């Protein structure tokens, strides 16, 4: 009898526990009314979107999620990767035991059926600024001339938008009151930092921008509650800085909070294209990586570049020269090799040619080889030959064609790219300074002394 009693109590406890857990689950039911695409659910981690789950819509576009919110606050639902920003994505509030029913269309979303009071109120605000959101985040077709009046109107509306409104959730209402301010900031920073047919000069700024105080936001950790928080740190700082002052160190100096400094620094660490540059940045800015998540992301960025550490063996390549002779990187062991990956259509590449020729002249007679690898399209091979002759380019001239293995093997996504290898055929730096930067000459001299 006692055993049966204990089993009954245990069963009741289990049912109660499962019921309580189920009450914490939030359900999302949606329909995609636009081009078929995988729908993703994101949580917000230090001002960034981090994927939780994915859903492949059915043939009628329907999709859904059931999840237990890790925190009370904003989550994001939409298409595309988190790193791609907010285009095609929309934020919603979850606290547990919520229902979200909505449809995503070409430019926005529409609530359907039963929804929480919080998301109903949030959507009222979203509808107020939906056109501004789409034309800053979702489309780059309009410029400041069309969008400044919309920003002015949204900024004015945001000031007392929450007046007389409540969801019954005091914590959320306070968040939404802040959101109306931060959203307008996000749309404005997106306008300023994305390609447009025209950009405003300072004297053409509207009153919102003239009165904008970046320091208020750069000193407020609440910015990282938003899916765009980390993304707008840099444009906010650079909005305050002018011209040549727009450097990472100066931007970091404007941010009093180390965690927020860490987010901005990590963005720049993620841009590192060689382990050498990655390590230099971590040595300098690693003190700002204070959360466990920041430290993990820093380590992950380094792991991607581990095969390009100094002293790692270079990945060989072989391409024809001007006479069609096959030439390899390994042919030049015993010499330091500077490789320039370039193309005749690349303006920044061509701007480096005078400095490259000057550097080559300064190291004439030394154990340094200057090798230029063209990634022009195969149909432009004669154009490449004529350009080399016209510009009187010296050194080793190789033609790799478009999308060659050197681009893949060295993870080159943009040119020009300069790479430096030592006399043993090992890596010095696969993202070396450009010839116009005195640091390149200093590095070559340093390695000549070592051998």
Which CATH number does the domain housing residue 110 bear? 2.60.40.1120
- Last residue of a domain, which of 115, 138, 170? 115
Higher per-residue pLDDT: 13 or 407: 407
Residue 16: inside a domain: no
Closest alpha carbon to 420 in 361, 335, 363:
335
Angle at 111 between CA 107 and CA 114, to 5 degrees: 165
Give the pLDDT score at 243.
78
Angle at 59 between CA 55 and CA 63, to 5 degrees: 30
CATH of the domain at 359: 3.40.30.10
* Residue 246, domain extent: 213-308
pTM for the whole thing? 0.81
**One domain, residues 351 and 420:** yes
In the chain, the number of structural domains is 3
Contacts of 246 (CB under 8 A, 6+ apart): 238
**One domain, residues 299 and 328:** no
Q: What is the mean pLDDT of the chain?
A: 93
For the segment 195-203, the average pLDDT, to the nearest whole number, is: 95
**pLDDT tier for residue 230 given thresholds of 50, 70 and 90:** very high
**One domain, residues 295 and 375:** no
β-strand 99-104 against 26-32: which pairing, if any? parallel
**One domain, residues 273 and 328:** no
List pLDDT tens digits, range 359-383: 999 999 999 999 999 999 999 999 9
Give the pLDDT score at 13.
38
**One domain, residues 403 and 291:** no
**One domain, residues 350 and 249:** no
CA end-to-end span of the chain, whole Å?
A: 87
**One domain, residues 285 and 238:** yes
């Amino acid at each position: 009898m006692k055993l049966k009693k204990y089993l009954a109590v245990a069963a009741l406890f289990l049912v109660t526990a499962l019921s309580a857990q189920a009450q914490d689950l939030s359900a999302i039911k949606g329909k995609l009314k636009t081009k078929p695409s995988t729908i993703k659910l994101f949580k917000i981690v230090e001002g960034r979107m981090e994927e939780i789950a994915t859903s492949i819509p059915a043939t009628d576009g329907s999709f859904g999620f059931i999840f237990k919110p890790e925190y009370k606050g904003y989550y994001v639902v939409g298409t595309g990767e988190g790193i791609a920003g907010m285009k095609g994505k929309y934020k919603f509030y979850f606290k547990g035991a919520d229902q979200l029913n909505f449809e995503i269309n070409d430019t926005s979303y529409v609530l359907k059926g039963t929804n929480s009071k919080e998301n109903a109120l949030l959507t009222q605000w979203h509808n107020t600024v939906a056109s501004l959101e789409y034309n800053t985040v979702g489309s780059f077709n309009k410029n400041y001339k069309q969008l400044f009046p919309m920003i002015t109107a949204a900024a004015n509306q945001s000031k007392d938008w929450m007046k007389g409104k409540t969801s019954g959730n005091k914590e959320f209402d306070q968040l939404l009151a802040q959101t109306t301010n931060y959203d307008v900031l996000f749309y404005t920073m997106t306008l300023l930092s994305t390609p447009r047919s025209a950009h405003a000069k300072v004297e053409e700024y509207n009153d919102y921008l003239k009165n904008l105080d970046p320091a208020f936001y750069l000193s407020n950790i609440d910015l990282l509650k938003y899916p765009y928080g980390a993304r707008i740190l840099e444009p906010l700082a650079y909005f305050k800085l002018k011209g040549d002052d727009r450097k990472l160190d100066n931007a970091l100096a404007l941010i009093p909070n180390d965690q927020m400094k860490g987010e901005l620094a990590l963005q720049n660490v993620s841009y590192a294209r060689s382990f050498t540059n990655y390590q230099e940045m971590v040595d300098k800015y690693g003190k700002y990586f204070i959360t466990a998540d920041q430290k993990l992301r820093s380590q992950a960025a380094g792991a991607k570049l581990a095969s390009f550490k100094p002293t790692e063996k270079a990945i060989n390549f072989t391409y024809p020269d001007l006479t069609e002779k096959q030439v390899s990187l390994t042919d030049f062991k015993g010499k330091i090799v500077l490789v320039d990956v370039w193309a005749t259509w690349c303006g920044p590449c061509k701007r480096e040619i005078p400095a490259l020729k000057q550097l080559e002249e300064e190291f004439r007679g030394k154990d340094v080889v200057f090798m230029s690898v063209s990634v022009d399209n195969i149909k432009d091979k004669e154009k490449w030959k004529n350009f080399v002759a016209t510009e009187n380019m010296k050194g080793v001239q190789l033609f790799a064609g478009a999308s060659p293995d050197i681009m893949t093997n060295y993870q080159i996504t943009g040119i020009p790219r300069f790479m430096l290898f030592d006399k043993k055929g090992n890596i010095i730096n696969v993202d070396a300074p450009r010839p116009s930067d005195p640091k390149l000459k200093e590095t070559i001299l340093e390695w000549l002394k070592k051998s």
